[in-house]
């Protein structure tokens, strides 16, 4: 599946993980449905992709990534927020 097709499905509310390229939708909603971004944001992202608007793509990607972290559903090794509730036991 090419990226544009994946993005168009996502805009329609059908987030699909791109197995060919092993890529998530920009908001990761293919793998974490509760992260699905509002429709107007999905449209804005697709438009930016079609217009090659790197600045918008980058800032939106960072925003989506931030939401994924704050939902506590995405864990990355070394990300300090993951460990803040753990008590050190010796």
Candidates 4-12, 20-28, 57-65, 69-77: pick the segment binding Zn ion (CB under 5 A).
20-28
Q: Which is nearer to Zn ion, 17 or 67 (CB)?
A: 17
3-state secondary structure (DSSP) of residue 34: helix
Candidates 14-22, 39-47, 62-70, 77-85: pick the segment binding Zn ion (CB under 5 A).
14-22
Q: Tokens 């908001």 identify what position?
A: 27
**Helices within 1-90 (DSSP H only):** 3-11, 39-50, 54-70
Minimum gap (Å) between residue 18 Cβ and Zn ion? 8
Q: Would you say 11 and 38 are in contact if contact means Cβ atoms under 8 Å apart? A: no
Q: Which of residues 22-81 bind Zn ion (CB under 5 A)?
A: 24, 30-31
């Amino acid at each position: 599946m090419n990226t544009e097709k994946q993005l168009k499905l996502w805009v329609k509310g059908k987030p699909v993980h791109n197995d060919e390229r092993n890529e998530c939708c920009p908001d990761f909603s293919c793998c974490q449905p509760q992260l699905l971004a509002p429709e107007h944001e999905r449209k804005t992202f697709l438009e930016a992709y079609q217009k090659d608007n790197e600045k918008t793509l980058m800032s939106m990607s960072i925003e989506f990534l931030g939401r994924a972290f704050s939902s506590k559903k995405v864990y990355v090794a070394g990300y300090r927020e993951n460990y803040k509730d753990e008590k050190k036991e010796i």
